């Protein structure tokens, strides 16, 4: 079966229901795409061919028996490798967990499987989600399908790249400070960070428990909306105390015009000094596209947004230090052989099990939580968080959503950004919504004139207004397509690699 990478999730489901093709044919086509493109992209850490074919066969059997099929029946899906799935390893791209077999399945993963999705495997990431480029994986560096000399973004870079390359239709990632939206921007796909609590975090290896949120990647807003329906439809997850019941109406009114809808713009951010000329041009086009779809642009302000990175890099490392303390080489994680004492076992296991960025974040968290330091940094960071939440509340009284950059630049080259603080700055426009717990989505708006790389715009909405946010995102997508800038469903064709190499006859 050729051309599966050109089909939307809804088209795959419709084709299987109509008998145009089988779920098994779709799964084998996805496996063929992975096999052909992975040498160039390296999006996957583990391909679960047996699980995929087993799930696809079950879908085909249900159809043959005349049983109803799920809303994601036969759709190829992959999962970031910090999400548990029985039958796979959950390594978090770390040597610390390289042999860890998933003992259970995360709620978010199970809900997609219950909706009929076909599990294709686990995708690469920055180790324990610490990074913005997927260069911090212990096992391999994922490459951007638009230009394999560039990064896909991070930490969910593998998930973004797998969708952009047409290897799978949907993926799940996690977003702690922008780790869905930023790689979605770099790879030219749609990536959504839902409201904190909208999607269960049970079965997700935690980075920052008050910041983490699982969300989908797709090549169109409609595909992301379909995935969101599956993620929330069963209701509140009793296994996650932060889970909230959300109505599964993400496809309802998706194409309704934006009459009288107000979109806020922040002039200081739209002209921020860090923005490249390409990104600024993409934001201008996004503004015009939204106005063309009936939205009214209004100026608002987030006066404390400049403090978001400082607050995040206090709160995040503190929570990471707490969450990763259990990987001590005794109870959990990699065990260094030949150690004489428990103290030596812990010391050497953590030294060799964790990579450089994971150590850096934990050391920072340990320092910030130390006696005499906590009051000077952690408490003020939480005060800044309160101010940021208040700023958003004020802004959303004047508008239905905010239009912002997703990232200040397009994807940089592998190895180009080596200074950690410079890489942290790439999350400037995404971090604040994690601190506040609001929803956000990145939408492609074209290709840069200089780099030829994807450009995007970010939309942020109030907490639990996720469905309205996707409606606005769809309007932006329509406007961008009408202007001939970018078509939903576009698949990257691996710059510098021939079509024959990535899609064999």
Check residue 505 and give its pLDDT.
46
Active-site pick, 155, 185, 200, 243: 155
Look-up of token digits 């190895």: 415
Write the CB contacts of 355 (distance below 8 Å, at least 6 apart in sequence). 94, 95, 127, 136, 138
Check residue 421 and give its pLDDT.
81
Average pLDDT by consecutive 10-residue portion of the chain (505 residues)? 87 97 98 96 98 98 97 98 98 97 98 98 98 97 97 98 98 98 98 98 97 98 98 97 96 92 95 95 97 97 94 96 94 91 93 96 96 93 97 98 97 92 88 98 97 98 98 98 95 73 55
Identify any residues that bridge with 80 across adjacent strands, giving them in sequence order.
123
The encoded tokens of residue 227 equal 């995935």
Active-site pick, 8, 30, 48, 80: 80
Ramachandran area for residue 295 (φ above 0: left; ψ -120 to 50: alpha; else beta):
beta
**Distance in angstroms (rounded) separating the CA atoms of residues 148 and 7:** 23
Look-up of token digits 């990535």: 502
**Distance in angstroms (rounded) separating the CA atoms of residues 434 and 381:** 14
CB 180 within 8 A of CB 156: yes
Identify any residues that bridge with 441 across adjacent strands, giving them in sequence order.
192, 459
Instruction: Name the burial class of residue 477, with classes exposed (0-12), middle (13-18) and buried (19+) by CB atoms within 10 angstroms of its CB.
Output: buried
CB 33 within 8 A of CB 503: yes
Check residue 183 and give its pLDDT.
98
Nearest by Cα to 446 from 408, 409, 406, 486: 486
H/E run at residue 172: strand 170-175
Radius of gyration of the chain from Cα atoms? 21
Nearest by Cα to 229 from 261, 198, 189: 198
Active-site pick, 22, 179, 433, 456: 179
SS3 17: helix
CB 468 within 8 A of CB 195: no
**Distance in angstroms (rounded) separating the CA atoms of residues 8 and 14:** 10
Q: Just give the CATH number of 6-249+256-301+394-483.
A: 3.90.1300.10
Check residue 264 and give its pLDDT.
98
> Where do the domains of the chain lie?
6-249+256-301+394-483
179 belongs to the catalytic site: yes
Predicted structure pTM score: 0.96
CB 43 within 8 A of CB 165: yes
- Reduced 3-state DSSP string for 235-304: CCCCCCCCCCCCCCCCCCCCCCCCCCCEEEECHHHHCCCCCCHHHHHHHHHHHHHHHHCCCEEEECCCCC
Check residue 260 and give its pLDDT.
86
């Amino acid at each position: 079966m050729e051309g599966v990478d050109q089909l939307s999730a809804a088209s795959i489901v419709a084709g299987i229901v109509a008998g145009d093709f089988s779920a098994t044919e779709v799964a084998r086509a996805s496996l063929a795409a992975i096999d052909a493109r992975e040498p160039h992209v390296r999006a996957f850490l583990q391909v679960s061919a047996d699980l995929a074919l087993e799930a696809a066969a079950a879908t085909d059997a249900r159809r043959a028996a005349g049983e109803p099929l799920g809303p994601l029946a036969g759709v190829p899906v992959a999962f970031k490798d910090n999400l548990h799935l029985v039958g796979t390893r959950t390594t978090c791209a770390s040597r610390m967990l390289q042999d860890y077999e998933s003992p259970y399945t995360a709620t978010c993963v199970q809900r997609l499987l219950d909706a009929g999705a076909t599990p294709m495997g686990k995708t690469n990431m920055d180790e324990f989600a610490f990074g913005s480029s997927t260069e911090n994986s212990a096992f391999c560096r994922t490459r951007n399908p638009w230009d394999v000399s560039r990064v896909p973004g991070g930490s969910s870079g593998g998930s973004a790249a797998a969708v952009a390359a047409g290897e799978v239709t949907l993926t799940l990632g996690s977003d702690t400070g922008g780790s869905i939206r930023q790689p979605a921007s770099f790879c030219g796909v749609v990536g959504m960070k839902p409201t904190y609590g909208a999607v269960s975090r049970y079965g997700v290896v935690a980075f920052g428990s008050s910041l983490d949120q699982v969300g989908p990647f797709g090549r169109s807003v409609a595909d992301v909306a379909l995935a969101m329906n599956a993620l929330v439809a069963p209701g509140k997850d009793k296994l996650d105390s932060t889970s909230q019941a959300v109505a599964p109406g993400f496809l309802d009114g998706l194409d309704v015009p934006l009459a009288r809808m107000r979109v806020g713009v922040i002039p200081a951010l739209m002209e921020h000094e860090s923005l490249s000329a390409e990104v600024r041009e993409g934001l201008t086009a996004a503004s015009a596209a939204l106005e063309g779809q009936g939205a009214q642009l209004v100026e608002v302000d987030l006066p404390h947004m400049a403090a978001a990175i400082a607050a995040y890099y206090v709160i995040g490392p503190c929570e990471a230090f707490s969450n990763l303390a259990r990987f001590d080489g005794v109870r959990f994680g990699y065990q260094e052989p030949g150690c004489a004492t428990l103290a030596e076992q812990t010391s050497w296991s953590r030294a060799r099990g964790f990579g450089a960025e994971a150590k850096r974040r934990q050391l920072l968290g340990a320092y910030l939580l130390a006696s005499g330091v906590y009051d000077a940094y952690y408490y003020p960071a939480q005060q800044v968080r309160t101010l940021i939440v208040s700023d958003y509340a004020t802004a959303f009284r004047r508008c239905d959503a905010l239009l912002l950059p997703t990232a200040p630049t397009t994807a940089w080259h592998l190895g180009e950004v080596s200074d950690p603080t410079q890489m942290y700055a790439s999350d400037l426009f995404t971090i604040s919504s994690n601190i506040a717990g609001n929803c956000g989505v990145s939408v492609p708006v074209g290709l840069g004139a200089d780099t030829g790389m994807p450009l995007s715009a970010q939309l942020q909405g109030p907490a639990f207004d996720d469905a309205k946010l996707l409606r606005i995102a769809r309007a932006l997508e329509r406007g961008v397509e009408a202007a001939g800038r970018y078509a939903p469903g576009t698949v990257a064709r691996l710059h510098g690699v021939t079509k024959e190499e990535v899609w064999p006859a």
